[in-house]
Amino acid sequence: MKISMYQASVPVFVHALNNLASILEKAAAHAEAKKIDPAVLVSARLFPDMFPLVRQVQIASDSAKGGAARLAGAEPPAYEDSEKTFPELVARVKKTVAYLETLTPAQIDGSEDKTITWQTRTSSKSMQGLPYLNSHLVPNLYFHVTTAYNILRHNGVELGKKDFLGNP
Question: Model confidence over 31-84: pLDDT tens digits?
Answer: 999 999 999 999 999 999 999 999 999 999 999 999 999 999 999 999 999 999
> What is the average pLDDT score of the chain?
96
- pTM of the predicted model over 0.75: yes
Quickly count: other Cβ atoms within 10 Å of residue 153's Cβ. 16
Model pLDDT, residue 167? 84
**pLDDT band at 2, cuts 50/70/90?**
confident
pLDDT for res 168: 73
Give the integer Cα–Cα distance in Å for 149 and 27.
Answer: 10
Residues 115-132 as b/e (b if ≥16 CB within 10 A, e otherwise) read ebeeeeeeeeeebebbeb
Supply the angle between the helices 53-72 and 138-154 in degrees, to the nearest 10: 160
Res 31: pLDDT = 98
Indicate the SS3 state at residue 124. Answer: strand
pLDDT in tens, 82-114: 999 999 999 999 999 999 999 999 999 999 999
38 vs 168, higher pLDDT: 38
3 pLDDT above the threshold of 90: no
| Domains of the chain (ranges, CATH numbers) | 10-156 (1.20.120.450)
Portion of the chain with pLDDT greater than 90, in percent: 95
Q: Please report the pLDDT score of residue 61 as a whole number.
A: 98
145 Cβ contact partners less than 8 Å away, ≥ 6 residues apart: 16, 17, 19, 20, 56, 60, 164
Confidence at residue 1, expressed as pLDDT on a 0 to 100 scale: 56
Supply the pLDDT for residue 37: 98
